[in-house]
Amino acid sequence: MMKVLTVCLGNICRSPAAKGILEYLAKEKGLDLHVESAGTAAFHIGKLPDARSIKTLKSVGIDITQQRARQICVEDFHEFDWIVAMDSENLANLKHIQPLSSKANVVMFGCYRDGVNFGEVDDPYYGGDAGFEAMKVQLFSIADDFLANAYE
Ligand code: 4NP
């Protein structure tokens, strides 16, 4: 079984959506994949995903309401095969705390897709619903290319 940890800043907008989408695509493709999500920051520990992420994903039949925010920890680097960052700040923070003995591939989630703003998933937190729709569309295409690469 392959294990992937999706990571953003607060673990309430992008990475819970990325987990829901990866699980949905893995099921559709018959892949044996375990996915969790985490944040680099501690502000939202224990919280549900943002209501706008929940609504956007619900519109395509994906329920993310069982998720609760948590912060990344050192053990994650030994547990997961892939730790995927949503933006370059998340990636820099992950590289900073990654233990030398880590087994995880720590990469930008969007790095296997061309043309998406250097692989970054824009933070929709301070914007409106349109930003969450754009995030969903972007995450679907990124997740597809990520899985094609990870299982090639
Ligand atoms: P996320 O979005 O990293 O995609 O979960 C954010 C959520 C909360 C905050 C920033 C980004 N915040 O500053 O509280």
Residue 116's pLDDT is 67
CA atoms of 54 and 126, how far apart (whole Å): 16
**Annotated catalytic, 76?**
no
Using the mean position of ligand 1's atoms as its centre, give its distance from the Cα of residue 113 in Å. 23
Q: For 29-54, what is the mean pLDDT?
A: 98
**Annotated catalytic, 122?**
no
Q: For 28-51, what is the mean pLDDT?
A: 98
**Annotated catalytic, 14?**
yes
Angle, in degrees to the nearest 10, between helices 51-58 and 129-150: 70
Instruction: Please provide the average confidence, as pLDDT, over all residues in the chain.
Output: 96
Residue 19's pLDDT is 98
Residue 45's pLDDT is 98
Residue 66's pLDDT is 98
Quick one: DSSP state of residue 71? B
Grade residue 147 by pLDDT with cuts at 50, 70 and 90. very high
High-pLDDT (> 70) share of the chain, %: 98
Q: Is 43 in the pocket of ligand 1 (CB under 6 A)?
A: yes
Grade residue 140 by pLDDT with cuts at 50, 70 and 90. very high
Give tens-digit pLDDT for 82-131: 999 999 999 999 999 999 999 999 999 999 987 666 789 989 999 999 99
User: Whose C-alpha lies nearest to ligand 1, atom 9?
Assistant: 10
pTM of the model: 0.97
- 10 to 40, 59, 116, 152: CA distances (angstroms): 7, 22, 21, 31
Q: For 134-143, what is the mean pLDDT?
A: 96
